[in-house]
A = this chain, B = another copy of it.
């Protein structure tokens, strides 16, 4: 149940509605937008609410029943698209944002070279993993804090905000100091303490869908972040696990229109992890744009054959640059512009 106040409703009117809901046993979530204030009634016994009575309180415009188990991230709760601000890049603003960079930060020299190249080609956010979740404990686990600092430096050097993964609640504070966007990986998609922690960090979050997560699971994971105080969330489709093994995962592009229907949050598609094969990335990147994705996340490496991880799915500079040209054409065809 959400209560939408009229434009110009006074603080007193808002307080009165809040008190009313609390008196009925509900928790109240206040969302104060530029134009109007919305109150979400959480928990409690809906049957106790007399809608007529609520409607009659001064300042109330509309009372909406949200059927979905998620509230703050639902389209019903917040009909307008959310724009997530990553540095000065606006994701979800009707433009198409491209996030690019290596799977893992390897060393500063190649990272900086990559940052320059992806920026030149048109990417506006730099990615690079430093705390790496690897299936085997014997694989390279990332450079940790050191890699994080390299990433932040490279971003500053070329003038791009940066995104990197955080895996441990104990690292959120330090990662939030260096990164402009905190990535929650697929394996931590239902790591609720971590979701709460990034929700309290004040830094925007890129939330990957777990390989086994339904749309509802995914939106509820986002709700953990939102209900901890942070609705600056980008939802990342990166493939789900199915019986098909030719591709690394099965990219579920239907997620794009479905999430746009169910939620106001922007969507990014990661064709690199989903397909696991560089030669499939361009087709699926273009398809993602045509499906209406707000952003793309693409792995680019200066020399994929020598990459410390996921080289098989990384584009080289030339391939990425060519893909960017193709993407611009598709974006234009559906009335979007690639952010620059």
Contact = CB atoms under 8 A, between A and B. Distances in A.
Interface of A: 42-43, 69-70, 133-138, 141, 167-170, 187-188, 190-194, 196, 210-212, 214-217, 220, 223-224, 227-228, 240-247, 250-254, 256-258, 261, 274-275, 279-280, 283-284, 286-292, 326, 329-330, 332-334
Contacts of A254: 247, 250-251, 274-275, 280, 283-284
Nearest to A212: B212
A193 B134 CA distance: 11
Contacts of A194: 168
A245 B334 contact: no
Given A286-B290, A291-B284, A191 B192 contact: no
A167 B188 CA distance: 11
Contacts of A138: 42-43, 69, 227
B261 A279 contact: yes
A283 B274 contact: no
The 4 closest A-B CB pairs, nearest first, are: A212-B212, A290-B290, A187-B190, A333-B333
Contacts of A42: 138
Contacts of A141: 192
Contacts of A261: 279
Contacts of A244: 214-215, 240, 252
Contacts of A256: 283, 287
A240 B250 contact: yes
19 contacts: A43-B138, A69-B136, A135-B220, A137-B196, A141-B192, A212-B243, A214-B245, A215-B244, A240-B244, A242-B252, A247-B254, A251-B253, A253-B284, A254-B274, A254-B284, A256-B283, A258-B280, A261-B279, A289-B290
Given A168-B169, A257-B284, A290-B330, A243 B243 contact: yes
Given A137-B196, A210-B212, A256-B287, 16 more contacts: A138-B227, A169-B169, A169-B170, A187-B190, A187-B192, A188-B191, A191-B191, A214-B243, A214-B245, A240-B243, A240-B244, A250-B254, A254-B284, A287-B290, A287-B291, A329-B334
A276 B258 CA distance: 12
A246 B214 contact: yes
A139 B210 CA distance: 20
Given A168-B193, A244-B240, A253-B253, A211 B212 contact: yes
A82 B192 CA distance: 32
Contacts of A274: 254
B284 A133 contact: no
Given A169-B169, A187-B191, A215 B330 contact: no
A95 B119 CA distance: 34
Most buried by B among A212, A242, A329, A334: A212
Contacts of A241: 212, 243
